[in-house]
């Protein structure tokens, strides 16, 4: 990194990142907070329903993140095109991302619906299996909405406009709470459905969020210059290929990062409901840290993309300096809180003394994971700003699937003497994995930053979509 920019430059960059990040933070709190609320409300309904939702959540969440990650490519593409002022190309991008969303919904939705064979492999108690399958199938009905939602989200996000995402997600989250109350507990004339009712509430919230963001985007005058004419548009395979080439590694990275946690959770489920519930509490807390870090990383990456598109290396470094500073503050403060008052946090989830004791142990391990994870997050989003998406994917394969998972299996099942030791063993393994990941990502970022800035929109040939020369 070059010399530290001036205080005025850093303050100005902080203001720009904050303008992008705070709506993302609110929106992601709302979206990921849905899982937290589901867990809390199910925990107060019954231990079996809590365990069922924990299993189901860890099946559909990786699929959700795969969709999100693939469509994330639009944000990187649009950000660089915005920096290069390629307005026609920006307008042409949205219909093609919608086509990708259609394909993802048609594939991922049925995949989540037909997840029963995976649950059979876990040898869950019959009641837990039945409840988990019912919950997962209801959530699957909302998956098609997810693709369209994130297609619109990342298009506007690439422009640095994040309020539509915030408004839609927040309202969807707020509606999800009374829907949970109605369908889980059977209130206000709704049937009492437990875990299945929680899935229905989540699916309804997904579709509502799509309707809201669509309305926002259509009627916001500031967005009109960056939107296409709303008419049928044939697939442009070059644009779709660019989305997939950049997006599939991102999607697989998200999938593998959370997927390894999901697989670990499913393995922990074989240790019993207490171990599963304790792990899910710790995982939810990691989710809550991940949210502001995702907002920060996304905002930083967007600002970097604008600077790359405009050929301004100083802008890249200013965004990186500010991102590193905020990440340090957030990760250190989160770690201190988790190590200091885990009992207060756990009281929100359960009154079970057995779950409480194990959850405290896992939360303290999660605190150390979070501290290291901050490095990985900032580094990965920096690489994505440069449209470098394959290296983070390869690193995830190595660090999580070749290091963390085998080590977790050995520590969790091979040498553990108690259920608590088994659950903790998997968390020790993930800490080892994220350490390897952070080191490799950090070294790659250093190499990328030493290169000259790429030419704006260097991916495309002379005129890929038949756009006017002024757009290119």
Read off the pLDDT of residues 86-95 as tens digits, 9 standing for 90 and up: 888 888 888 8
Q: Strands, E, within 80-130: which ranges?
A: none
Position 419 scores a pLDDT of 82
- The candidate with the shortest Cα–Cα distance to 436, out of 402, 407, 399, is 399
Minimum mean pLDDT among 292-296, 380-384, 431-435: which range? 292-296
Minimum mean pLDDT among 28-42, 207-221, 365-379: which range? 28-42
Position 340 scores a pLDDT of 86
Please report, for residues 99, 136, 224, 423, the alpha-carbon distance to residue 270 in angstroms, rounded to integers and kept in the order given. Answer: 40, 19, 52, 10
Q: Which of residues 99 and 255 earns the better pLDDT score?
A: 99
Question: Does 216 score more than 90 pLDDT?
Answer: no
User: Tokens for 185?
Assistant: 């507990």
Question: Does 332 score more than 70 pLDDT?
Answer: yes
- pLDDT tier at 2 (50, 70, 90 boundaries)? low
Distance in angstroms (rounded) separating the CA atoms of residues 2 and 236: 40
Residue-range domain boundaries for the chain: 7-457
Residues 6+ apart with CB under 8 A from 109: 140, 141, 143, 144
Position 466 scores a pLDDT of 37
Distance in angstroms (rounded) separating the CA atoms of residues 82 and 71: 17
178-194 average pLDDT score: 84
- The candidate with the shortest Cα–Cα distance to 387, out of 18, 72, 67, 17, is 72
Could you give the percent of the chain with pLDDT greater than 90? 19
Position 438 scores a pLDDT of 94
CA R_g for the chain: 22
Distance in angstroms (rounded) separating the CA atoms of residues 129 and 146: 25
Position 455 scores a pLDDT of 55
Give how far the C-alpha of residue 331 lies from the chain's centroid of Cα atoms, to the nearest Å.
Answer: 17
367-386 average pLDDT score: 91
229-254 average pLDDT score: 85
- pLDDT tier at 375 (50, 70, 90 boundaries)? very high
Question: Angle 47-83/7-45 helices, nearest 10 degrees?
Answer: 160
Question: Does 34 score more than 80 pLDDT?
Answer: no
Mean pLDDT, rounded, of the chain = 84
* Total-model pTM: 0.77
Q: Which of residues 51 and 211 earns the better pLDDT score?
A: 211
Minimum mean pLDDT among 6-20, 41-55, 187-201, 357-371: which range? 41-55
Give how far the C-alpha of residue 30 lies from the chain's centroid of Cα atoms, to the nearest Å.
Answer: 12
Location of structure tokens 């693709």: 147
361-378 average pLDDT score: 91
Residue 130's Cβ-side half-sphere holds a number of Cα atoms within 13 Å equal to 6
Q: Which of residues 192 and 351 earns the better pLDDT score?
A: 192
Location of structure tokens 């991916």: 459
Q: Per residue in 400-457, pLDDT tens?
A: 999 999 999 999 898 888 888 888 999 999 999 999 999 999 999 999 998 887 654 4
3-state class percentages of the chain: helix first, strand second, coil last, to nearest 5: 85, 0, 15
Distance in angstroms (rounded) separating the CA atoms of residues 24 and 31: 10
């Amino acid at each position: 990194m070059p010399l530290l920019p001036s205080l005025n430059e850093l303050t100005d960059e902080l203001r720009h990142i904050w303008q992008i990040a705070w709506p993302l933070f609110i929106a992601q709190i709302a979206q990921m907070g849905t899982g937290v609320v589901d867990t809390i409300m199910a925990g107060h309904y019954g231990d079996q329903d809590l365990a069922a939702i924990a299993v189901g959540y860890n099946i559909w969440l990786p699929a959700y993140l795969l969709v999100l990650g693939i469509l994330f490519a639009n944000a990187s593409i649009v950000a660089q095109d915005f920096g290069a002022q390629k307005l026609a190309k920006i307008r042409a991008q949205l219909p093609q991302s919608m086509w990708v969303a259609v394909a993802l919904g048609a594939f991922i939705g049925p995949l989540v619906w037909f997840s029963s064979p995976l649950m059979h492999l876990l040898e869950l108690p019959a009641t837990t299996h039945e409840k988990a399958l019912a919950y997962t199938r209801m959530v699957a009905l909302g998956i098609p909405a997810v693709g369209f939602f994130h297609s619109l989200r990342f298009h506007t996000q690439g422009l640095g406009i994040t309020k539509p995402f915030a408004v839609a997600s927040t309202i969807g989250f707020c509606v999800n709470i009374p829907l949970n109350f109605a369908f889980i507990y059977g209130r206000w004339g709704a049937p009492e459905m437990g875990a299945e009712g929680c899935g229905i509430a989540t699916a309804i919230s997904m579709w509502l969020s799509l309707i809201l963001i669509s309305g926002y985007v259509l009627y916001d005058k500031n967005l009109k210059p960056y939107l296409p004419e709303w008419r049928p548009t044939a697939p442009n395979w070059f644009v779709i290929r660019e989305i997939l080439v950049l997006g599939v590694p991102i999607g697989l990275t998200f999938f593998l990062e959370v997927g390894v946690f999901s697989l670990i959770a499913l393995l922990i489920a074989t240790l019993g409901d207490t171990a599963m519930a304790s792990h899910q509490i710790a995982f939810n807390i990691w989710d809550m840290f991940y949210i502001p870090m995702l907002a920060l990383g996304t905002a930083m990456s967007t600002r970097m993309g604008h600077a790359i598109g405009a050929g301004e290396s100083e802008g890249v470094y200013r965004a990186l300096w500010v991102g590193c500073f905020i990440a340090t503050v957030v990760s250190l403060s989160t770690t201190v809180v988790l190590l200091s008052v885990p009992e207060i946090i756990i009281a929100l989830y359960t009154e079970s003394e057995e779950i409480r004791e194990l959850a405290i142990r896992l939360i303290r391990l999660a605190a150390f994971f979070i501290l290291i994870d901050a490095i990985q997050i900032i580094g990965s989003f920096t690489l994505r700003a440069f449209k470098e998406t394959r290296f983070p994917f390869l690193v995830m394969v190595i660090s999580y699937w070749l290091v963390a998972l085998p080590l977790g299996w050995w520590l969790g099942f091979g040498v553990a003497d108690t259920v608590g030791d088994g659950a903790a063993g998997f968390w020790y393994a993930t800490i080892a994995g994220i350490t390897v990941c952070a080191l490799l990502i950090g070294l790659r970022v250093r190499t990328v930053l030493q290169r000259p800035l790429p030419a704006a929109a260097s991916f495309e040939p002379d005129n890929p979509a038949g756009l006017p020369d002024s757009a290119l």
